[in-house]
A = this chain, B = another copy of it.
Amino acid sequence: MENSITKLFGIKYPIIQAGMVWVSGYKLAAAVSNSGGLGLIGAGSMYPDVLREHIQKCKRATNKPFGVNLPLFYPDLEQVFNIIVEEGVKIVFTSAGNPKLLTKRFQDAGIKVAHVVSSVKFALKSQEAGVDAVVTEGFEAGGHNGREETTTFTLIPMVKEQLKVPLIAAGGIATGRGMLAAMVLGADGVQIGSRFVTSEESSAHQNFKDTVVNTPDGGTELTLKELMPVRLIKNDFYNQVQELYKKKASIEELQDLLGRARAKRGMFEGDLIEGELEIGQVAGLIHKIMPAGKIVEEIMAEFLSAKAQLSSL
């Protein structure tokens, strides 16, 4: 299966594992890359020296291409830029910021760059900034998300109409059928997050993984829009947020409740009560914790069988 995404990154399948905070360490990234997809280390929750360690360990754990996801609001951005270049990382996915900020500098260092967007406008800005690929993230995605609330089903074709560089779809995709549907809508590849949260190699806490596989449809909501919109499981912390909304609380009160390190507490330390549990709507389709490599295999097998079945439509 060769296409613009497999060629761009030198991978076997156009399946990218999202570089998520507290979830995507080198173990997960290497497992996905070893299985033929593209694994990404999530820099967003790592101090610079921790990121360097994960990159070094990833290089030892796989000889296949892997990358780093870098949120552009990262406080030590310059330091992390240097680490990524020094360690010889070949692929970077940037998000949550201006694509002009680092794209050219990364590319001058021989690094391929994809940028995550949630609108046509920012897809085109990313293309203008010279990115090698654009990731469109739909409203159904877990974690931090765009204010436009455009869903995967409508965002992919609206971006595809105008974009010339390869398009990677994210948000709501966890299965081979989802991958095929995204490609029918115009995607060249898919980025999958929630499904890999529940992989054995993810560094999510077991409590969080168990919660994700038991989250039904309607079990998440995009909330805290006054701060930075984030899709969360409706746990006790979420209910506290809703109580504040009922009281018509101020932004400061919301900020006070959120405080710091809620995501770490929920996703990494397994505090299901007070922690922030970031996951996508597609959690309702995820029923099992599996090795990451098996997830890639299962997705590809379903993709191919769904494609074969289409002739009967």
Contact = CB atoms under 8 A, between A and B. Distances in A.
A121 to B, nearest CB: 8
Instruction: Count the copies.
Output: 2
Interface in A173-229: 173, 175, 177-178, 180-186, 216-218, 221-222
A176 to B, nearest CB: 10
B183 A154 contact: no
A186 B310 CA distance: 11
Contact of A222 (B119, B121, B149, B217): B149
Contact of A313 (B1, B161, B218, B222): B1
A151 interface: yes
A148 B231 CA distance: 13
A149 B180 contact: no
A102 interface: no
A151 B138 contact: yes
Given A153-B172, A172-B153, A282-B154, A120 B181 contact: no
13 contacts: A119-B217, A120-B216, A120-B284, A148-B217, A148-B218, A150-B281, A153-B171, A153-B173, A153-B282, A154-B284, A158-B217, A178-B185, A307-B313
Interface of A: 1, 3, 119-121, 138-140, 148-155, 157-159, 161, 171-173, 175, 177-178, 180-186, 216-218, 221-222, 248, 280-282, 284-285, 306-307, 310-311, 313
